[in-house]
Amino acid sequence: MNVDVRPRPDRSTVSTGLLQVSGLTKRFGGLVAVKDMSFSIKPGEILGLIGPNGSGKSTVMKLIMGIERPNAGRVVIDGVDVAGWPSHRIARQGVGLVFQHSRPLHRQTVGENIKLALLPDALLKLFADPAVEGKARAIAERVGLGAVFDRRPATLPFADLRRLELAKAIARNPKVVLVDEPFAGLTAGEVAAFSKLIAGFREEGRAVLLVDHNVKSVAALVDRVLAMYLGEFVAEGSAEHVMANPTVRQVYLGAGSIETSARPELDQKPGPPLLEVKDVGVLYGKAQALQSVSIHVREGEFVSVVGLNGAGKTTLFNAISGLVPYSGSIVWGGDTLAGRTAGSIARGGIVQCPESRELFGTMSVRENLDLGGARLSNGDRTAKLDWLFELFPILKSRATQAAGKMSGGEQQMLAIARALMMQPKLLILDEPTLGLAPVILEQLSHALERLRNTTPITVLLGEQNVTFALPHADRVYVLEHARIIWEGDPARFASEAGKAYL
């Protein structure tokens, strides 16, 4: 999809911003990760930076903090251009970064972690202010860590570890605060508490840049939103204005109107569903990636799980595939999947085509497909290949080409074809449209429609792009912030869930 870069709003704030970014560009080889990005943040203002995975949000933050060096552009902190400076010098200039992943010193207590952040970093000042203990306790109380001041990080719940990152940032007394994914892994109540803490930075006159996948929580907190896609500026303004922007909605929802073609008779089949996920929860360390998720899929049904990046779709699929530990139960064909290996689950008929594709780049298209069909007889493998080359004709003409030399769309077709070579009873497709051009989306859509109409295969599709997901769905689940918040047939989605999706 081509980004529709429209004239930007008035930049009169650039001259008064505490943080001023102009013309920021970063290339990784031939990939332009950030292109000519410009924005400013005034004292006491929170700017939310949004965009799907791969948009360049984290790269922008790393460029400001000095973790990456820009190829072009300026990063001005309180009148001083720090572009290209090392991180420690930028930190001294007044920039603090609240990391997405907690990085405490585990042998030290909460209080000692905060005290270390309060220590001066100049060699001429080797001793801390005698009042450092009181300051550390005051900061701990402010972020809700007063009761655990003397405990070590390993004993804390996930939310308290995130609070500790905020406390360390506060201790450095930054002018500009960069907050990376503060809401990831938090419950709704914890998100509200963290929003209040971040809002405190505004009250203190700090400039805040906030990046998070939780678009709704970002919109509720920030003063302005800047949306980017594929490294480029898309829109900027109030949250309401940006969310209504046609290009932003296309990036998140997909192009075109929502069309549906559900087959409700499939949900009326007698007996238990083919797959039943009940009250499944997944933790990554102490972060809640899934919380009490329940879905079911009947034989022959196409079910779509839609949600923004970071909602938990991949985690759900990895739990079903036996790739991550989980609580709750997953039943396949009447038998529990608990204790089974990922290989056993795949051989039993559940085959996942991952978002990352996981092709063997130096091997040819044919060799990748042969690996998928390794357990087939020679005759069955040949017949399956003929069918797949008819389903995806481009793969036949590319049969001897190395997979790593193919376009992204061709690689996606190959990844799906390799999964189909394993003769799945349930095919799990994780974000198959990610980063693909419209012409490729149309080809994938035709292929899925043919699978739906001419084979008995069952499909579980995870997508952010609802205009792609819904036409191929008999039922839809909406996954938001680790929980299922809506379930229904596609025809009801637009009226009941579509407006609230962003």
Task: Give the total number of structural domains in the chain.
Answer: 3
The per-residue pLDDT for 10 is: 44
- 429-480 pLDDT per residue, tens: 998 887 676 778 888 888 888 888 888 999 999 998 888 888 888 999 999 8
Q: Are residues 184 and 77 in the same domain?
A: yes
- 234-254 pLDDT per residue, tens: 999 998 888 888 888 777 766
Q: Are residues 225 and 165 in the same domain?
A: no
Contact present, 21 and 73 (Cβ < 8 Å) = yes
Is residue 201 included in any domain, yes or no?
no
Q: Are residues 64 and 121 in the same domain?
A: no
pLDDT confidence tier of residue 294, bands split at 50, 70 and 90: very high
Which residue matches tokens 């994914």? 181
The DSSP H or E segment spanning 447 is helix 438-454
**Domain limit, last residue, from 234, 253, 272:** 253
Q: Are residues 87 and 119 in the same domain?
A: no
Contact present, 432 and 424 (Cβ < 8 Å) = no
The per-residue pLDDT for 86 is: 93
More confident residue, 260 or 236: 236
Q: Are residues 43 and 169 in the same domain?
A: no
Q: Is the pLDDT of residue 485 over 60?
A: yes
Mean pLDDT of 328-343: 94
Kindly list the distances between the CA atom of residue 263 and the CA atoms of 203, 213, 249, 266, 452, in Å, as whole numbers in the listed order.
Answer: 53, 32, 27, 6, 10
Which residue matches tokens 């994938």? 444
Q: Are residues 405 and 340 in the same domain?
A: yes
Q: Is the pTM of this model over 0.85?
A: no
Q: Is the pLDDT of residue 267 over 60?
A: no
Is residue 19 included in any domain, yes or no?
yes
Rounded to the nearest integer, the mean pLDDT of the chain is: 86
Q: Are residues 245 and 325 in the same domain?
A: no
CA 501, CA 48: separation in Å to the nearest integer? 18
**Domain limit, last residue, from 173, 199, 231:** 173
Does residue 235 sit in helix, strand or coil?
strand
Q: Which CATH number covers residue 17?
A: 3.40.50.300
Q: Are residues 294 and 433 in the same domain?
A: yes
Is residue 494 included in any domain, yes or no?
yes
Is residue 199 included in any domain, yes or no?
no
- 25-78 pLDDT per residue, tens: 999 888 889 999 999 999 999 999 988 777 888 899 999 999 999 999 999 999
Mean pLDDT of 313-339: 95
pLDDT confidence tier of residue 8, bands split at 50, 70 and 90: very low
Is residue 202 included in any domain, yes or no?
no
- Provide the sign of the torsion angle of the four alpha carbons 419, 422, 423, 428, taken in this order: negative
Is residue 296 included in any domain, yes or no?
yes
Q: Is the pLDDT of residue 13 over 50?
A: no
Contact present, 403 and 415 (Cβ < 8 Å) = no
Q: Are residues 33 and 154 in the same domain?
A: no
Q: Are residues 273 and 382 in the same domain?
A: yes
- 136-173 pLDDT per residue, tens: 999 999 999 999 999 998 888 888 888 998 899 888 88
Q: Are residues 228 and 141 in the same domain?
A: no
For 298-379, strand residue ranges (E) read: 302-306, 327-332, 335-336, 350-353
Is residue 370 included in any domain, yes or no?
yes
Q: Are residues 347 and 439 in the same domain?
A: yes
The per-residue pLDDT for 129 is: 65
Burial of 40 (0-12, 13-18, 19+ CB in 10 A): buried
pLDDT confidence tier of residue 5, bands split at 50, 70 and 90: very low
What torsion, rounded to 10 degrees, do the Cα atoms 5, 11, 16, 18 define? -10
Mean pLDDT of 188-192: 82
Is residue 329 included in any domain, yes or no?
yes
Give me the domain span that covers residue 52: 1-94+176-191+207-253
